[in-house]
Amino acid sequence: MSDSLDLGAPPQPAASAQPYRVLARKYRPQTFEALIGQDAMVQTLGNAIKRDRIAHAFLLTGVRGVGKTSTARLIAKALNCIAPDGQGGPTIAPCGVCEPCRAIAEGRHIDVIEMDAASHTGIDDVREIIEASRYAAVSARYKIYIIDEVHMLSKAAFNGLLKTLEEPPAHVKFLFATTEVNKVPVTVLSRCQRFDLRRIPAQLLTEHFARVVAAEGAEADAEALALIARAAEGSARDGLSILDQAIAHADLEGGGVRADAVREMLGLSDRNAVRDLLALVLAADAPGALTALRRQYDLGVDPLGVMRALLEAVHGVTQVKVGAPDDPSQPVEERAAYRDWAGKLSFPALHRLWQLFLKGHEEVARAALPIETAEMAILRAIHASTLPDPGELARRIAGGEVPVAAAAPALAAPAAAPPEPENRLPRDFAGVLALLDERGKLDLLVRMRRGASVVRFDAPEIVLSGTRPLSTDTLTELAAVLREATGTPWKIAMADAPGAPTMYEAEQDVVQARHDAARAHPVVAAAFDAFPGAELIDPKPAQRSIT
């Protein structure tokens, strides 16, 4: 007889519940109908599939969280769907129940290969793709390569991919996604069908979040969802992450997601408090404004958030003044306040407030003492709000209300202040080059003469052709020089479109035309026949050459 005690089989752990999935993953769109805010792209894809005009490579670009990777997976499902009966073809409405659809949705399909270019940047990774693309798909209609953040591939990797990308096997499709399309070489862009996914409008995001809240069995008020949609800045993923946090933050007693809790969670300034603060600034009540600002700070609101909220308020008033339609996410009290201010404030006053708050926002963002810097920015705005705008001051002087001597301090610049740049805008790109020459920016001038192919010139905006790519540093330097020279901010952009010949090419064309005309003259032609080694010298006098 054994002395041991039989305790039976050891207890088994209870079956674990299915692990929680965050909302951004749980509600990732599984059909094109569920993809919000991208109707134009869906229609284009649908027409291409119906007409059997499917590109061999797609480039999906847009800000974070608008659905680039989700769209790539949906395209993979659309091209490989075989329908529940196994007899279907490519469709814009994949069934979601056939084996290819389910395998792609679960990320386990052997013929749909996803690669993160951030961690596979080299030529060796691309060589593997090139070698594998030669072989037919194992079980799908198409072998599909989804490369996320494709702009992070190295130059050698891009070059290695070019030939295969231009003439891939018939069974291979490439789907690229990127947030920085300007870093993708033009040679790659020209081989892809490009789709720019737009930021999702706040109204659509609000409606989407309401459906998610209902599906989760939670509650949320409309203002809270509008705040989350605004904070998401057009990104569904960012908004769902915030909503996930807000639901977890909500009162467990059934209170649901409330606007005040969302503001507290995000560190947003209360909109009523912002309107009160702006009213105190406009009333030139410095002690009251500083007290209101400190009250917000003591409640945990970031000073940078206050400056941002003031900017949003001034922008909202300006929109009302120009007659823009009402924002449905705005409270009624806010709309009434904006209409009242729009009737009282002139455009110059609103523009001045915007510039003052914008400067304050920049200063607070990099300040060692944020709240103190915010206070100084508020005081500066209060001081400026008591001054008449230049047009009003001129009218008052003309009417004799203000003596010229008394107005002189307000009109004259301080003696020690540096002279302001002359506000003159070049009429064309040649004028831009002349400005660079005047200011001694010879290195930049050479780069612009040889590399700048102008698509559109509408000062202060220049659009250059991406077929002659210029570095981001060059474009930034050009914008800075032009702003310093003209006193006006400039926007310099690249476009995937052909442009005019560069200035150097245009000059060479003129010289060549002159040479051709000269050589066509019978006397010159006879001279070349008599002297075969002769060279035609440009008869124009020598000038300073900047090439």
Mean pLDDT, to the nearest integer, of 222-243? 88
| pLDDT at residue 150 greater than cutoff 90 | yes
| pLDDT at residue 5 greater than cutoff 50 | no
The residue ranking higher by pLDDT, 8 or 147, is 147
- Is-contact 152 182, C-beta < 8 A? no
The residues, any chain, with a CB within 8 Å of residue 414's CB and separated by 6 or more, are none
Q: Which amino acid does the sequence have at 250?
A: A
Mean pLDDT, to the nearest integer, of 331-352? 86
Structure tokens at 479: 């914008």
Among 79-93, 146-160, 379-393, name the one with the lowest average pLDDT: 379-393
Closest by CA position to 137, among listed 101, 91, 173, 104? 173
The total of other beta-carbon atoms located within 10 Å of residue 246's CB is: 24
Most confident of the following: 317-331, 353-367, 404-418: 353-367
| pLDDT at residue 544 greater than cutoff 60 | no
Mean pLDDT, to the nearest integer, of 174-200? 91
Q: How far is CA 39 from CA 33, 139, 181, in A?
A: 9, 31, 21
What is the per-residue pLDDT for 98? 92
In which band, very low, low, confident or very high, does the pLDDT at 178 lie, cut at 50, 70 and 90? very high
Distance between CA 335 and CA 275 in Å, rounded? 11
- Beta strand 461-465 with 143-148 is unpaired
**Whether domain 202-266 has CATH 1.10.8.60:** yes
What is the per-residue pLDDT for 278? 92
CATH code given to domain 421-547: 3.30.300
What is the per-residue pLDDT for 374? 93
**Strand ranges of the sheet holding 57-61, from the earlier edge strand across to the other edge:** 112-116, 143-148, 172-178, 57-61, 193-196
Q: Map tokens 């030939």 to a residue.
A: 163
Among 14-28, 232-246, 363-377, name the one with the lowest average pLDDT: 14-28
| pLDDT at residue 77 greater than cutoff 50 | yes
Q: Using a pLDDT cut of 90, give the percent of the chain over it.
A: 27
Distance between CA 533 and CA 529 in Å, rounded? 9
Distance between CA 454 and CA 286 in Å, rounded? 50
Long-range own/partner contacts, residues 537-546 (CB < 8 A, 24 or more apart): 538/511, 538/514, 546/437, 546/442, 546/445, 546/446, 546/449
| pLDDT at residue 390 greater than cutoff 60 | no
| pLDDT at residue 494 greater than cutoff 60 | yes
The residues, any chain, with a CB within 8 Å of residue 28's CB and separated by 6 or more, are 70
Angle between helices 236-249 and 259-266 (to 10 degrees): 110
Structure tokens at 171: 């069974």
Element (H, E) at 94: none
CA atoms within 13 A on the CB side of 153: 27
Structure tokens at 308: 């941002």
In which band, very low, low, confident or very high, does the pLDDT at 52 lie, cut at 50, 70 and 90? confident
- Is-contact 515 540, C-beta < 8 A? no
Distance between CA 88 and CA 201 in Å, rounded? 35
* Conformation bin of residue 425: beta by default, left when phi > 0, alpha when psi is -120 to 50: beta
**Cis amide leading into 460 (omega within 30):** yes
- Three-state SS for 203-221 is HHHHHHHHHHHHHCCCCEC
Domain with CATH 3.30.300 in the chain: 421-547
Mean pLDDT of the chain: 82
Domain with CATH 1.20.272.10 in the chain: 272-411
Domain with CATH 1.10.8.60 in the chain: 202-266
What is the per-residue pLDDT for 203? 87
| pLDDT at residue 530 greater than cutoff 80 | no
| pLDDT at residue 212 greater than cutoff 50 | yes
In which band, very low, low, confident or very high, does the pLDDT at 267 lie, cut at 50, 70 and 90? low
Distance between CA 227 and CA 249 in Å, rounded? 15
Domain with CATH 3.40.50.300 in the chain: 23-196
The residue ranking higher by pLDDT, 7 or 59, is 59
Structure tokens at 360: 């304050």
CATH superfamily of 23-196: P-loop containing nucleotide triphosphate hydrolases (3.40.50.300)
What is the per-residue pLDDT for 399? 60
Distance between CA 197 and CA 321 in Å, rounded? 31
Structure tokens at 474: 């060059």
pLDDT in tens, 106-128: 889 999 999 988 888 889 989 99
CATH number for 272-411: choose from 3.40.50.1980, 1.20.272.10, 3.40.50.2000, 3.40.50.1110. Answer: 1.20.272.10
- Beta strand 454-458 with 461-465 is antiparallel
Distance between CA 493 and CA 454 in Å, rounded? 10
Taken in order 430, 436, 438, 440, is the CA torsion positive or negative?
negative
| pLDDT at residue 328 greater than cutoff 70 | no
Rg (CA), the chain: 32
- Is-contact 456 429, C-beta < 8 A? no
- Is-contact 126 161, C-beta < 8 A? yes
Closest by CA position to 199, among listed 235, 229, 228? 235
pLDDT in tens, 429-486: 888 888 888 888 888 888 888 888 898 998 889 998 887 778 877 888 888 888 888 8
What is the per-residue pLDDT for 518? 73
| pLDDT at residue 413 greater than cutoff 50 | no
